[in-house]
Amino acid sequence: MDPVNSDVAPVEVVVPREVPLGGPRAMTVRRTLPQRGRSLIGAWCFVDHYGPDDVGRTGGMLVPPHPHTGLQTVSWLFSGEIEHRDSGGAHALVRPGEVNLMTAGHGVAHSEVSTTATRVLHGVQLWIALPDDARDVGRGFERHATAPLHRDGATIRVFIGSLDGVTSPVRTFSELVGAEILLPPGGRLELAVDPGYEHGLLVDSGSVALGATVLVRGELGYTGTGARRLVVEDLDGTGARLVLLGGAPFGEEIVMWWNFVARTHDEVVAMRAEWNARGDRFGEVEGYVGDPEWLPAPDLPHVLLRPRVNAPNAVIG
């Protein structure tokens, strides 16, 4: 923390863990949210960071149809291409510089497959928890190209919410921000941010100082509410690629298991049973060809699923 400027937030470092991403040919991703001590940043409840992945060696991404409830998914690529299909009828190619947002609401199924044009797959997959008054909305899908913003040598692409005078047209149900930041070699960027938001800065490449805290590739720096600016500097002279996520603290408890965001254990049990019974709640994904043709839900743990609780929120002032 800057001892002179109290409007600069202290930083909590969240270290990723490696997990397999769905299906028998699972690719490995680095997951920073959720963690035991940090489940949410605003309504952002899930952050997977993957690549650069040589698909000729690894096989790339092949995730058969699987369900979601109570959330929105955000796909953001740095390189490569993913074919998206969902039970709302959307069929789209996810490409770098374009934000793809799928609203699950009451229930949706979708598949994600890296295309034959992909040589290196690299990006993030993000989830947004829907507030209680919106978690049963209908299925939806949006895709928008982002325009780069250039400031102090850095390039910023805002894909969710508003930052530095740029606003994304993508519809969310909470106050949020999401942006990719390319910091030049030796660069320093000072961003004015909403003091009502908490923020997370994910390092994709390079190493940076967020305030007085060093972050290296794969780590996420979390700041609590109250900060009016974030100051980030390149440390190793090679530049850095970062993903900024933020939002107003999410004031609801969620029960999150597998691909479901719910409020109680019993809701999750019912969602799992309906998916495995191929119920109408989730619909069918048309046009997907693969083996297996869908992903059954795993067994539930032999414990009561409890709400995820954040560590105390660091507040400035």
Span 39-48, average pLDDT: 97
User: CA-CA distance, 279 to 194, in Å (whole number)?
Assistant: 42
Residue 109 structure tokens:
């199924």
- Placement of tokens 């074919």 in the chain: 83
> Does the pLDDT of residue 55 top 90, yes or no?
yes
**Per-residue confidence at 9, pLDDT binned at 50, 70, 90?**
low
pLDDT tens figures, 175-220? 999 999 999 999 999 999 999 999 999 999 999 999 999 999 999 9
In the chain the domains, ranked by start, together with CATH numbers, are 12-247 (2.60.120.10)
Q: Do 216 and 209 meet the contact criterion of CB atoms below 8 Å apart?
A: no
- Whether omega for the bond prior to residue 52 falls within 30 degrees of 0, making it cis, is yes
pLDDT tens figures, 99-152? 999 999 999 999 999 999 999 999 999 999 999 999 999 999 999 999 999 999
> Does the pLDDT of residue 52 top 50, yes or no?
yes
Q: Do 124 and 202 meet the contact criterion of CB atoms below 8 Å apart?
A: yes
Residue 229 structure tokens:
């600016």
> Does the pLDDT of residue 4 top 60, yes or no?
no
Percent of the chain clearing pLDDT 90 (strictly above): 88
> Does the pLDDT of residue 6 top 90, yes or no?
no
Residue 24: its pLDDT value, please? 55
Residue 1: its pLDDT value, please? 35
**Per-residue confidence at 36, pLDDT binned at 50, 70, 90?**
confident
